[in-house]
Amino acid sequence: MSAELAAVIAVIVIAMAFDYTNGFHDAANAIATSVSTRALTPRVALVMAAIGNFIGAHFGAGVAKTVGSGLVELPTGRASLSVVFAGVLGAIVWNLVTWYFGLPSSSSHALIGGMVGATIAASGTVLWDGILESVILPMILSPLVGFALGYLVMLAVMWLFRRGHPGKLNRGFRWAQTVSAAAMSVGHGMQDAAKTIGIIVLALYVGGYQDDAKTIPEWAFWTSATVLALGTYAGGWRIIRTLGRKIIDLRPPEGFAAETVASSVLYFNALVLGAPISTTHTITSAIMGVGATKRLSAVRWGVAGNIVGAWILTFPAAGLIASLSYFLVRPLFT
């Protein structure tokens, strides 16, 4: 086996490791509300989320191309593969830290922050215009949109069913949540599996095994989708507790509204814009917006503040870890 091929395989393996941690770290994004409202049992919810992730991955080509070619510019060769490896390693470490503390930080921003940090450490080229358009602006706008739409959709649900019997409404919305949670799972796959696909494509390009960083081999879809689904099935109970119970006390109508809003935002960005937005930011802000329709005090703003703090820290923290990792792994590739 040539040194170049071994380096490419090493990057793909660590990309799969990130994909797996993304699954158990972000599984809560799709199913926390359904589990907390008892619309679905945890095991059924995890199986459904895994299937949805697998399906959604095959519709994330736009996001994969953005990650593979729109954020950093690297020359071909083994030295560049060390940059990609370090960037993914930084994201994995930050994922594990935030998972341990039960904070729903963004795996997407951890990955992008890691890639930027490693690229800067290697004196590579960061496409700051692409970072601004595809990362910074969506990072600011998606929580605002999620909060506003969550608030408005919940108001509409409350008005439309204002005369309904609470018991019957809860049963009906538990069934509706099965659909909204499935839609959320597919949207998660569109976004998060696609980011790993983008890393695979970038590794193949800088390793000299394909001519550009936009062509996606079919096996990359299947591999990333399968590993993400396995990671999702492994579960993410710490973060499920934070999203489903610590921000607000959710009932089935609120869970349905939050999941419907979040999945709609994910679909629009993946299919129309090809923007790699954060599933975590989107669902969390939607939950906050839904909770604010009760009264502002219904949202536990202290917990929400800790989550926002993790959001702000994610990009630079993953970048710092990746930049340090670069100096450690570079000798292994060169």
Q: For residue 168, is it within any domain?
A: yes
CA 187/CA 193 separation, integer angstroms: 10
State the pLDDT confidence band at 113, using cuts at 50, 70 and 90: very high
* Mean pLDDT comparison of 69-83, 216-230, 314-328, highest-scoring range: 314-328
Instruction: Say if residue 301's pLDDT is above 80.
Output: no
Which residues are CB-neighbours of 41 under 8 A, at least 6 positions away?
35
Range list of H helices, 102-136: 107-121, 128-131
Q: For residue 105, is it within any domain?
A: yes
User: Given phi > 0 = left and psi -120 to 50 = alpha, else beta, which region is 301?
Assistant: alpha
Q: For residue 81, is it within any domain?
A: yes
Global pTM reads 0.83
Q: What is the pLDDT of residues 91-101, one digit of tens each?
A: 999 988 887 77
By residue range, what is the domain housing residue 247? 3-327
CA 193/CA 88 separation, integer angstroms: 14
The closest alpha carbon to 67, from 208, 224, 198, belongs to: 198
% of the chain surpassing 70 pLDDT: 88
Contact 19, 231 (CB under 8 A): yes
**Stretch 17-27: mean pLDDT:** 81
| Chain mean pLDDT for the chain | 84
Give the chain's radius of gyration (CA, Å).
19
> 3-class DSSP state for residue 127?
coil
Phi, psi of 37 (to 5 degrees): -90, 0
Q: What is the pLDDT of residues 201-237, one digit of tens each?
A: 999 998 888 888 788 898 999 899 889 888 877 765 5
CA 135/CA 131 separation, integer angstroms: 5
Higher-pLDDT residue of 167, 87: 87
Instruction: Say if residue 297's pLDDT is above 80.
Output: no
CA 125/CA 182 separation, integer angstroms: 39
CA 266/CA 211 separation, integer angstroms: 30
Q: For residue 253, is it within any domain?
A: yes
Q: For residue 334, is it within any domain?
A: no
Q: For residue 332, is it within any domain?
A: no
Query: What is the torsion angle, in degrees rounded to the nearest 10, for the CA atoms of residue 19, residue 112, residue 131 and residue 243?
Result: 70
State the pLDDT confidence band at 163, using cuts at 50, 70 and 90: confident
CA 88/CA 126 separation, integer angstroms: 16
Q: For residue 23, is it within any domain?
A: yes
Instruction: Say if residue 248's pLDDT is above 80.
Output: no
Instruction: Say if residue 289's pLDDT is above 80.
Output: yes
Q: What's the total number of domains in the chain?
A: 1
> 3-class DSSP state for residue 300?
coil
What per-residue confidence (pLDDT) applies to 241?
Answer: 57
CA 231/CA 301 separation, integer angstroms: 30
What per-residue confidence (pLDDT) applies to 304?
Answer: 61
Q: What is the pLDDT of residues 168-201, one digit of tens each?
A: 888 898 889 889 989 988 998 898 888 899 999 9
Q: What is the pLDDT of residues 1-17, one digit of tens each?
A: 688 888 899 999 999 99
**Stretch 104-133: mean pLDDT:** 87
Residue written as tokens 């599933």? 279
Query: What is the torsion angle, in degrees rounded to the nearest 10, for the CA atoms of residue 231, residue 234, residue 235 and residue 238?
Result: -100
Q: What is the pLDDT of residues 255-264, one digit of tens each?
A: 899 999 999 9
